[in-house]
Amino acid sequence: MIIRVEGVRPMIVNLLNKLARRDMLDEHERAVLMAAPAGTKQFGPRRNIVRQGEPLTQSMLLLDGFVCRYIDLADGKRQILEFHMPGDFIDLQGFLLKSLEHNMASVSPVTVALVPHTTLRHITENEPHLTRLLWFTTLIDAAIHRQWIVSNGRRSAIARVAHLMCELDTRLDVAGLSDGNSFFLPFTQADIADATGLTSIHVNRMLRVLRDDGVMTFRDGRVTITNRPALADIAEFDPAYLYLHSEPR
């Protein structure tokens, strides 16, 4: 079920869509989430949002734009660990960890809602079901990380790119940000390369193969999937790890 903006503060509608896909939210829980942000903050593209080891006193809910988790190696190479999109808590783990062991940066211009850790503590102490749902979102992050390990360790180059596109398409659809056939993706081929452990040249070749085979196109910041079954088959994509079914949590 996609929650519409009417009657709901637009700033967190994508988060509500994600949670409502997996479990029921009552009006009180929606109100608690809508009241949680203490403000918003904007970042330009390619800016650090959270630095490794930086003390954290608040967590950020992504309202607009795309963010990546990443680690820089000594030789200057970057490994992207996950992409985040509107509706994602990008550093909810920091509530308990108090810092992150990796960096977070904007891929595009972004807007985030700032949720103080004192507010999250109040939620965890007074809203057990909502706490479980927020915990659930961090478990989805962990499941995504495991799939990325499989991709970068065992999948072929074309399967890595195809799997990433299938995942992003599914996650954007859950948040209500896909029109069913295409989605906005402000990534460079270098971003895709850093996420898949490939070179930009190799990514370019794989995207060209997918285009020439009539499976998908990536042009001017927009992905258009022209043969969804073929893309999923190339990727061996099974969305089960995203836990899209609704049941009591």
Read off φ and ψ for residue 146, nearest 5 degrees: -65, -40
CB within 8 A of 249, min separation 6: which ones? 22, 23, 129, 132, 133, 136
What confidence tens digit (pLDDT) does each residue in 107-162 have? 999 999 999 999 999 999 999 999 999 999 999 999 999 999 999 999 999 999 99
Residue 223 and residue 166 in contact, taking contact as beta carbons nearer than 8 Å? no
Which pTM was predicted? 0.93
Percent of the chain with pLDDT over 70: 96
Please name the residue that has the structure tokens 């903006």: 5
**What pLDDT is attached to residue 10?**
53
Indicate the pLDDT class of residue 3, thresholds 50, 70 and 90.
very low
Indicate the pLDDT class of residue 92, thresholds 50, 70 and 90.
very high
Instruction: Please give the helix or strand (H or E) that residue 64 lies within, else none.
Output: strand 58-64
What confidence tens digit (pLDDT) does each residue in 17-35 have? 899 999 999 999 999 999 9
d(CA 53, CA 63): 24
